[in-house]
């Protein structure tokens, strides 16, 4: 059994999360900005299907990307060098979320349900949630979004409608985060795609310690200028 959050009840310690399914911590609560910011600063995130109660997770181990460990393939370097895509920041946050929410295959589902989109748009309006976007010929063709708290970034999802479009957005995000002194990028759960980009698993307790050391933030979040992030040599 897992706890049910009522009202403004605090999250249980992440050490109480289930082993099977890995990381399920509690259910209930809401998706208010205050609840979401509190969740992320403790290494907890919501993940559930439409019609189900809100489920909160903190898996062990945790997939993370340390900015200096990003791997850029030879083909991706060529794409970056050719400036195939224009990178923009925070100009189409809702559109990025909606594209990420689209099923990846016919008849497939999504965990980015409508109430999740509205909740993260509110976070974006407060300066906590951000999007990095790849544009080509005036069309949004790839991007990602996530939450920035102090020196940590919590990646949520990405999409690509053109080759390497989401990877370019990730590289530009990492460049921006490096310049800001970011210590860790949360990738939540392991995938071969993330591993190919340099992400790796760390024990949940190490991840929690990284957050305790990294997260000091303004209650109002921090606006990112809506332009291309600073570039660094790859």
Integer Cα distance of 37 and 221 in angstroms:
10
> Per-residue pLDDT averaged across 162-183, rounded?
96
Q: Which residues pair with 27 in a beta bridge?
A: 4, 55
* Residue 154 bridge partners (DSSP): 147, 186
Average the pLDDT over 14-26 and give the result: 97
β-pair partners for 200: 64
Asked if the peptide bond before residue 61 counts as cis, ω within 30 degrees of 0, the response is: yes
Residue 221 banded pLDDT, cuts 50, 70, 90: confident
pLDDT at 233: 46
Of 24-28, 125-129, 189-193, 226-230, the poorest mean pLDDT is in: 226-230
Give start-end residues of each CATH 3.40.630.70 domain in the chain. Answer: 63-214
Q: Which of 64, 65, 60, 63 is nearest to 24 (CA)?
A: 60
Q: What is the CATH number of domain 63-214?
A: 3.40.630.70
Q: Looking at 41-55, 93-107, 134-148, 162-176, which range is the least confident one?
A: 93-107
| 20 pLDDT more than 60 | yes
pLDDT exceeds 60 at position 230: no
- On the question of pLDDT at 157 being above 80, the answer is yes
Mean pLDDT of the chain: 93
Q: How many whole angstroms separate alpha carbon 173 and alpha carbon 164?
A: 14
pLDDT at 9 exceeding the cut of 90? yes
Encode pLDDT of 79-97 as tens digits. 999 999 999 999 999 999 9
Report the pLDDT averaged over residues 106-114.
Answer: 78
pLDDT given at position 1 = 87
Per-residue pLDDT at 224 = 87
Its CATH architecture, for the domain 4-59, is 2-Layer Sandwich (3.30)
Percent of the chain at pLDDT exceeding 90: 86
Q: How far apart are CA 47 and CA 41, in angstroms?
A: 16
Minimum mean pLDDT range among 33-37, 108-112, 178-182, 206-210: 108-112
The mean pLDDT of 105-134, rounded to a whole number, is: 90
Residues forming CATH 3.30.70.3550 domain(s) in the chain? 4-59
Contact 84, 205 (CB under 8 A): no
- Rg over alpha carbons for the chain, rounded to the nearest Å, is 17
**What is the DSSP secondary-structure string of the chain?**
---EE-TTPPPPPGGG--TTTTTEEEEE----HHHHHHHHHTT-EE---TTSPPEEE--SSEEEE-GGG----HHHHHHHHHT-SEEEESSSHHHHHHHHHS-SSTT---S--HHHHHHHHHHHHTTSEEEEEEEETTEEEEEEEEEEETTEEEEEEEEESSTTHHHHHHHHHHHHHHHTT--EEEEES--HHHHHTT-EEE-HHHHHHHHHHH----TT--PPPSSPPPP---
């Amino acid at each position: 059994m897992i706890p049910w959050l009522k009202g403004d009840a605090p999250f249980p310690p992440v050490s109480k999360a289930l082993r099977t399914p890995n990381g399920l911590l509690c259910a209930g609560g809401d998706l208010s900005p205050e609840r979401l910011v509190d969740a992320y600063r403790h290494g907890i995130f919501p993940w559930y299907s439409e019609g189900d109660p809100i489920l909160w997770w903190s898996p062990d181990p945790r997939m993370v990307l340390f900015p200096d460990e990003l791997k850029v393939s030879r083909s991706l370097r060529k794409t970056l060098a050719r400036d195939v895509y224009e990178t923009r920041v925070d100009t189409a946050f809702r559109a990025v979320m909606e594209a990420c929410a689209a099923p990846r295959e016919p008849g497939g589902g999504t965990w980015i349900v409508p109430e999740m989109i509205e909740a993260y748009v509110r976070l974006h309006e407060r300066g906590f949630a951000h999007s990095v976007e790849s544009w080509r010929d005036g069309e949004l063709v790839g991007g990602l979004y996530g939450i920035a708290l102090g020196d940590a970034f919590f990646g949520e999802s990405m999409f690509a409608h053109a080759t390497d479009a989401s990877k370019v957005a990730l590289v530009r995000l990492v460049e921006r985060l490096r310049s800001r002194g970011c210590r860790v990028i949360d990738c939540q759960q392991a995938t071969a795609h993330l591993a190919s980009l340099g992400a790796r698993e760390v024990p949940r307790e190490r991840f929690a310690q990284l957050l305790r050391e990294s997260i000091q933030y303004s209650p109002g979040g921090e606006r990112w200028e809506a332009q291309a992030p600073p570039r660094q040599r790859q």
